[in-house]
Amino acid sequence: MTDASDAPSGKTSSFGFRDVDAKEKVRMVRGVFDSVASNYDLMNDLMSAGVHRLWKDAAAAKLNPRPGETILDVAGGTGDMARRYSKMARGAQVRMGGEDASVIVLDYNAEMIMAGVDKGGEPEMSWTVGDAMALPIPDASVDAYSISFGIRNVADVSQALREARRVLKPGGRFLCLEFSRPTAGPIRKAYDAWSFHAIPRIGEWVAKDRDSYQYLVESIRRFPDQATFKRMIEDVGFSRVTVTNLSGGVAAIHHGWAI
């Protein structure tokens, strides 16, 4: 899942282990996801041995979609999370009654959106191309905002967080599922060995694109650790921010409230 965004010229942003002009990162990230879109879901299964599905299930349960809510899934890619949200909201609707939920899948990359549309959606879902740093969404208009495995790809993470805060209604929920920092040394060593050596090779064999998957591995290493990212979320105005580590911190859910 991806989103990259415009940023002021002269500002730098990380692209893997390199620092590049923020506007150049937008172009480079778009190229990465143009390349990987057709194999994105298959590669997720191969890279994580299917564990990413359990992480996504845990994140969806944490968000707890309800009938009648408007849920914005930023960097929604091919719609994996949005399908979960739609089905969960519909299940709650059967039990509780109420209106249909609305789940908006927004991604900066049109190729990813097209791959998602081709894969098929749920009745609650709609698709749009948009920018995480300048969301085409009115102030205080959504009940829940999620971004999964995408925020590390934006040119300015803090600006993306400010936009999340802007579009949420008072009492709205923020959720971010992202690769993070393993909490134990042995897990960290094993994960580094797997990600740096195996993932680029799998990308080369399956997607015929080693460089894009090398970038994705490097981008994970450059992303802030759990505590630092928690502070960034709090700094833009979210309250009651919690962190849930998954698989020993290989991934983490950050959750907060717009109150």
Binding residues for S-adenosyl-L-methionine: 78, 107, 131-132, 148
Which amino acid does the sequence have at 50? Answer: G
Annotated binding site: 78, 107, 131-132, 148
Those residues with Cβ within 8 angstroms of residue 191's Cβ, 6 or more apart along the chain or in another chain: 182, 250
CA nearest to 141, candidates 175, 170, 120: 170
Please tell me the distance from the alpha carbon of residue 241 to that of residue 147, in angstroms, as a whole number: 15
Question: 16-55 burial string, b = 16+ CB within 10 Å, else e?
Answer: beeebbbbebbebbbebbebbbbbbbebbebbbeeebeeb
Please tell me the distance from the alpha carbon of residue 235 to that of residue 150, in angstroms, as a whole number: 20
Mode of pairing for the β-strands spanning 18-21 and 12-15: antiparallel
Token output for 13:
């942003």
Question: What beta strand segments (E) does the chain contain?
Answer: 12-15, 18-21, 70-74, 102-107, 125-129, 142-148, 168-179, 239-246, 251-258
User: Residues 112, 40: contact at Cβ < 8 Å?
Assistant: yes
Burial class (CB in 10 A: 0-12, 13-18, 19+), 222: middle
